[in-house]
Amino acid sequence: MSYTELKRQVYEANMELQRRNLVIYTFGNVSQVDRQKGVVAIKPSGVSYDLLKVEDIVIVDMENAIVEGSMRPSSDTKTHTHLYRKFDNIGGVTHTHSTYATAWAQAKKSIPCFGTTHADYVHGEISCTRELTDAQINGDYEEETGAQIVDSYAHKDPMAAPMVIVAGHAPFTWGKDANQSVYHAALLEEIARMAYLTRTLDHSAQPLNQAILDKHYLRKHGKDAYYGQNK
Amino acid sequence: MSYTELKRQVYEANMELQRRNLVIYTFGNVSQVDRQKGVVAIKPSGVSYDLLKVEDIVIVDMENAIVEGSMRPSSDTKTHTHLYRKFDNIGGVTHTHSTYATAWAQAKKSIPCFGTTHADYVHGEISCTRELTDAQINGDYEEETGAQIVDSYAHKDPMAAPMVIVAGHAPFTWGKDANQSVYHAALLEEIARMAYLTRTLDHSAQPLNQAILDKHYLRKHGKDAYYGQNK
Amino acid sequence: MSYTELKRQVYEANMELQRRNLVIYTFGNVSQVDRQKGVVAIKPSGVSYDLLKVEDIVIVDMENAIVEGSMRPSSDTKTHTHLYRKFDNIGGVTHTHSTYATAWAQAKKSIPCFGTTHADYVHGEISCTRELTDAQINGDYEEETGAQIVDSYAHKDPMAAPMVIVAGHAPFTWGKDANQSVYHAALLEEIARMAYLTRTLDHSAQPLNQAILDKHYLRKHGKDAYYGQNK
Amino acid sequence: MSYTELKRQVYEANMELQRRNLVIYTFGNVSQVDRQKGVVAIKPSGVSYDLLKVEDIVIVDMENAIVEGSMRPSSDTKTHTHLYRKFDNIGGVTHTHSTYATAWAQAKKSIPCFGTTHADYVHGEISCTRELTDAQINGDYEEETGAQIVDSYAHKDPMAAPMVIVAGHAPFTWGKDANQSVYHAALLEEIARMAYLTRTLDHSAQPLNQAILDKHYLRKHGKDAYYGQNK
């Protein structure tokens, strides 16, 4: 893929964040990796969506050095590249401070799988990371945020749970490309909102049992999936 | 009714789901039955509303075999046809994951009749089904979901309570045709939202007493109704 | 005022209900009285806002007999005329099932005056009526609803608290004309929403003390008011 | 800056309040100071945003006397000028009754710093003022409101926490100019909403620890900031 096409896809995915009401002002950023070229395209830091142009998208290498672009890349770039280096089956990453997902992050709680809307996309709870230690915060903060996320996936395939919430901070989501990572960000926000309502309606609400959780996930994913037109 | 007209009506009812903010992406599906012809028209599986066309609507028979259409029907088709077979006075069915109705489903709670907004449309509480057993989940899941709904109507006329929530899942609503089933889906979402607010404002809030519940329902329904222009 | 002009003003006020997101479908109704002519103009029953026309507005006398119009008036007409007969300083009445105000009605709770947004418009709490008895419900229901509202104003000027919530039902508001009654309906919804959030944030939150309550109300009302341009 | 340009900037900032859904009807007001000329431009009292024109903006001196303009200035003018006199590094002030920030004000609670969205803009909690005494309310009320705000900043730089909530009332925010004060009003509303959700999800939720609070604030502010393009 040419840098121009990569930047265009990343630009479109970033603009979708605003259309889906997942960001205000300059919040949020989306990236996409080109693994053959070893580069990542990402939103520039602190630019408003109303002013963002395709050519503003910054190309960096896997170690965060700027390859092409006149602007400074997102201040969260190191978290994105960390995820691309550690999760070799993901192609795009989205970071937002979407309201309900961020509320769960601020409460430092994983989101229980209360229903099939959740089970259709994530096979189990949506994890909240452990909190960063003071040493991690005062060290390479954005790199450590990535490391903390990866830590939550020791026993889990990143694509079977393409969304995570960082304790005290906000969500990160990913997918096969930038566009799908935004799709997962929008789904996470809706799942987080439904889970908030469920929990406040009944503080002792219980998650789905394993049988239905498996059923819904496997209806949409894996070799026997029967949802949609492309199987 | 011609297949073309049936598909047009089902298409319009599906598009109304999006206009009423009851669905995101490819969520939700609406169908309508033609009992003389013994067929059901339903949304195809996993198609986005922005791309949906009249000719994409699939016609199936009462046992789910495709009669006309090149796409795969909604993965929930068996639940729809089950309802048409068992409830002989309904003409349209809607399934959504609308936010507040789904929160009650996830909390596995029936919605108490807290006020006249509810009493105008449903004569009593809006039932939450029992949970499916593991055997039902691993058997013919969508068929069993329909059976679980029908089970809740052993002593109740489906048209006197044209909306139900499936435990751990989301709502189904119905009506005399596809269009009215969407109308009931929108009303259910508003009733569910008001009931959520009532319950969280006062966890010991009590339902309406029977006299006012009867009064409001019978103002709109039955031989002495005096609401609207067509009585 | 001519019937034509009266109908035009009532039509515009009804349409404003929809623009302010206070109603869905055919919910809600607004009326205005012409005390010289002894008539009330009101929305017809069960007509959708998208189809409503000026000429559909119905003119009735103070005892609910149709004076002009080919449609049936709102099923809540008797409540409106009751209020006009008992509160001689009001000129317009609005009834909605707006979400947050209705949640307070369903919880059967008066809205405490938690802040200056409330104190600017209502001098004290916003009353919730007592519940109707079974005899009242099975008698002349809409007339009794009006009587129950009037009962809450035994020691209060209707214009010093131009909004009330009917237990188990929803709000009624009024003003010097139809337009101002809708303005009060919109303010009530916002006040009810803020009060809901305050109460759920802290179930022991206390109302404002009397001194600031008086100050804010008198900044906007009475002979020493200094808010706005027309004093 | 000419009075014309000052009024234009204040007009634009006031209109932004409506576009950001921070106000309804005539609620809210924004001002900007010109310290060289010793004047403040502010919205007129009680004028609806749909009717507001650039030439309606009123110019007053630092003691609230009208310098230019035919309309009465906002009834909150004395609070604005009080803040300009006491906080010599601020250039614009915004007052709204935005929903979630007002709910915290009505609950008379400071907003704990639950996450990085908050920490990015305010270095610590967002203070709720003490309540006014009866003597203050019955004295020079708007002046005393300003004094109560200033009181909360005895040990704090106003620009390190450019937002405050007034107990029982609503928020005030400020910035280097009118436009930035509105930006802070919109951020406060989003921070207040996230904090409401966090608190109702878990009534014992704890604020961020100091290390991450410092990290996020200093990423955006001060000599080592690395967020955005203009550092």
Residue D2 to residue D142: CA distance in whole angstroms: 28
Is position D229 within any domain? no
Q: What are the pLDDT digits (tens) for C189-227?
A: 999 999 999 999 999 999 998 888 888 888 888 788 888
Of C115, C215, C227, the CB nearest to D102: C115
Which of B117, B214, B219, B224 is the best substitution to test chain C (most C C-beta atoms within 10 A)? B117
Distance set, CA D61 to CA B137, C5, C105, C226, D81 (Å):
74, 46, 47, 19, 8
Which of C29, C106, C197, C202 is the best substitution to test chain B (most B C-beta atoms within 10 A)? C106
The number of beta carbons lying within 10 Å of the beta carbon of residue A88 is 9
The two three-digit tokens of residue C42, written as one number: 């009101």
Contacts of A79 (CB under 8 A, 6+ apart): A95, A142, A143, A145, A146, A149, A172
- For the annotated catalytic residues of D, the residue numbers are 120, 227
The CATH number that applies at residue D173 is: 3.40.225.10
Mean pLDDT by 10 residues, chain D (231 residues): 97 97 97 98 97 98 98 98 98 98 98 96 95 92 96 94 98 98 98 98 94 86 82 46
The number of beta carbons lying within 10 Å of the beta carbon of residue B35 is 12
H or E segment at C190?
helix C178-201
Q: What are the pLDDT digits (tens) for B213-230?
A: 888 888 888 788 888 886
Q: What are the pLDDT digits (tens) for C91-134?
A: 999 999 999 999 999 999 999 999 999 999 998 999 999 999 99
pLDDT score, position C220: 85
Please count the structural domains in chain D: 1
Taking contacts as CB-CB distances below 8 angstroms, the residues of chain D near A142 are: none
H or E segment at B158?
none
Residue D192 to residue C89: CA distance in whole angstroms: 40
Residue C160 CA to chain centroid, in angstroms? 13
The number of beta carbons lying within 10 Å of the beta carbon of residue C221 is 16
pLDDT score, position D230: 65
Residue D229 to residue D231: CA distance in whole angstroms: 6
Question: Cβ separation of C138 and B215 shorter than 8 Å?
Answer: yes
**Torsion angle defined by CA atoms of residues D174, D179, D182 and D186, in that order, rounded to the nearest 10 degrees:** -120
Of C24, C138, C141, the CB nearest to B190: C24
Residue B231 has pLDDT above 50, yes or no: no
What does the radius of gyration of chain C's CA atoms come to, in whole angstroms?
A: 17
Residue B5 has pLDDT above 70, yes or no: yes
Torsion-angle region of D28 (φ positive above 0: left; ψ -120 to 50: alpha; else: beta): left
Is position D227 within any domain? no
Q: What are the pLDDT digits (tens) for D122-166?
A: 989 999 999 999 999 999 999 999 999 999 999 899 999 999 999
H or E segment at C193?
helix C178-201
pLDDT score, position C214: 85
Contacts of B99 (CB under 8 A, 6+ apart): A190, A193, A194, A197, B189, B193
For C145, the closest chain B residue by CA position comes to B212
Of D115, D200, D219, the CB nearest to A200: D200
User: What are the residues of chain B with a beta carbon less than 8 Å away from any beta carbon of chain C?
Assistant: 114-117, 183, 186-187, 190, 193-195, 197-198, 200-202, 205, 208-209, 211-212, 215, 219, 226-230
Which chains neighbour A (Cβ–Cβ under 8 Å, 3 or more pairs)?
Answer: B, D
Taking contacts as CB-CB distances below 8 angstroms, the residues of chain B near C75 are: 219, 226-227
Is position C68 within any domain? yes
SS3 content of chain C, % helix, strand, coil (to 5): 40, 15, 45
Residues D123-155 as b/e (b if ≥16 CB within 10 A, e otherwise) read bbbbbbbebbeeebbeeebbebbbbbbbebbee
What does the radius of gyration of chain B's CA atoms come to, in whole angstroms?
A: 17
Residue type, A155: H
**Torsion angle defined by CA atoms of residues B169, A102, D171 and D2, in that order, rounded to the nearest 10 degrees:** -120
DSSP state of A171: E
CB pairs under 8 A between A and D: 81
Taking contacts as CB-CB distances below 8 angstroms, the residues of chain B near A209 are: 131, 134
DSSP state of D45: T
- For the annotated catalytic residues of C, the residue numbers are 120, 227
Contact (CB, 8 A) for B160 and C160: no
Q: What are the pLDDT digits (tens) for C132-189?
A: 999 999 999 999 999 999 999 998 999 999 999 999 999 999 999 999 999 999 999 9
Is position A231 within any domain? no
For C231, the closest chain D residue by CA position comes to D72
For C212, the closest chain D residue by CA position comes to D137
Cβ-based burial of C1 (10 A; exposed 0-12, middle 13-18, buried ≥19): middle
Averaged pLDDT score across all residues of chain B: 95
Q: How confident is the model at residue B15 (pLDDT cuts 50, 70, 90)?
A: very high
The two three-digit tokens of residue D218, written as one number: 């200093």
DSSP state of A161: S
What does the radius of gyration of chain D's CA atoms come to, in whole angstroms?
A: 17
The two three-digit tokens of residue D160, written as one number: 């390190």
Which of A190, A212, A218 is the best substitution to test chain B (most B C-beta atoms within 10 A)? A212
Of A44, A75, A105, the CB nearest to D226: A75
Residue-level pLDDT, tens digit, chain A, 231 residues: 899 999 999 999 999 999 999 999 999 999 999 999 999 999 999 999 999 999 999 999 999 999 999 999 999 999 999 999 999 999 999 999 999 999 999 999 999 999 999 999 998 999 999 999 999 999 999 999 999 999 999 989 999 999 999 999 999 999 999 999 999 999 999 999 999 999 999 999 999 988 888 888 888 887 888 888 864
Contact (CB, 8 A) for B71 and B41: no
Is position A225 within any domain? no
- For the annotated catalytic residues of B, the residue numbers are 120, 227
- For the annotated catalytic residues of A, the residue numbers are 120, 227
* Structural domain that includes position B70: 3-220
Three-state secondary-structure class, residue B123: coil
CA distance D214 to chain C (A): 27
Is position D226 within any domain? no
pLDDT score, position B173: 98
DSSP state of D126: B
Of B187, B198, B227, the CB nearest to C45: B227
Is position C225 within any domain? no
The number of beta carbons lying within 10 Å of the beta carbon of residue C130 is 12
Residue type, B76: D
Taking contacts as CB-CB distances below 8 angstroms, the residues of chain D near C201 are: 103-104, 107, 109, 196, 199-200
Taking contacts as CB-CB distances below 8 angstroms, the residues of chain C near D26 are: 228
Residue C103 to residue D144: CA distance in whole angstroms: 36
Residue C4 CA to chain centroid, in angstroms? 23
Is position A195 within any domain? yes
Contacts of D227 (CB under 8 A, 6+ apart): A45, A46, A75, D219, D220
Of A183, A197, A212, the CB nearest to B100: A197
Taking contacts as CB-CB distances below 8 angstroms, the residues of chain C near D107 are: 114, 198, 201-202, 205
